[in-house]
Amino acid sequence: MGVRIGNGFDVHRLVPDRALLLCGTPVPSSLGLLGHSDADVATHAIMDALLGAAAKGDIGKHFPDTDERYEDADSLALLKEVRKIIGDYDILNVDVTIICERPKLSPYIGAMRKKIADTLEISDEAVSVKATTTEGLGYTGRGEGIAAMAVCAIEGRN
């Protein structure tokens, strides 16, 4: 099966009265992300990257937003399910970039890396979490939403 690479992308709108969770980590903010599940945009991007690398579809296929079972679902629990779905592969690394103007995420990056590593049962050294802005441009720059993109490498077991 060899080494395979996948990428993922997700975006969610920022709204009042919702918690902000990124890579399963609560981030203090007056706004949170709107979605059918907990709307953890970074974890969703990672899930799509892993599923794509294994050619197993996407999160909409496995966890549709039309299914009440996934309403307010914990995205880390869904990531554990993705790990099972791609079970014939070892995860070599995961790299996610979170795109937002506010809040500043640097104080939470270490906790985010640990949560993803623990959930996927891989080394913290195999997980990279970064944050960037769009210099005030576009929907992320205006504070309307947060986007995330992820890439991963997996390797088939012989």
Region 50-78 average pLDDT? 94
Model pTM score: 0.96
pLDDT in tens, 109-141: 999 999 999 999 999 999 999 999 999 999 999
pLDDT in tens, 37-48: 999 999 999 999
* Cα gap 45→153, rounded to integer Å: 14
pLDDT of residue 72: 87
CATH superfamily name and code, 3-156: 2-C-methyl-D-erythritol 2,4-cyclodiphosphate synthase (3.30.1330.50)
Region 64-83 average pLDDT? 93
pLDDT of residue 7: 98
- pLDDT(158) > 80: no
Region 86-92 average pLDDT? 95
Residue recorded with tokens 């979605």: 35
> Taking Cα atoms as reference points, which of 127, 134, 128, 129 lies closest to residue 99?
134
pLDDT of residue 92: 98
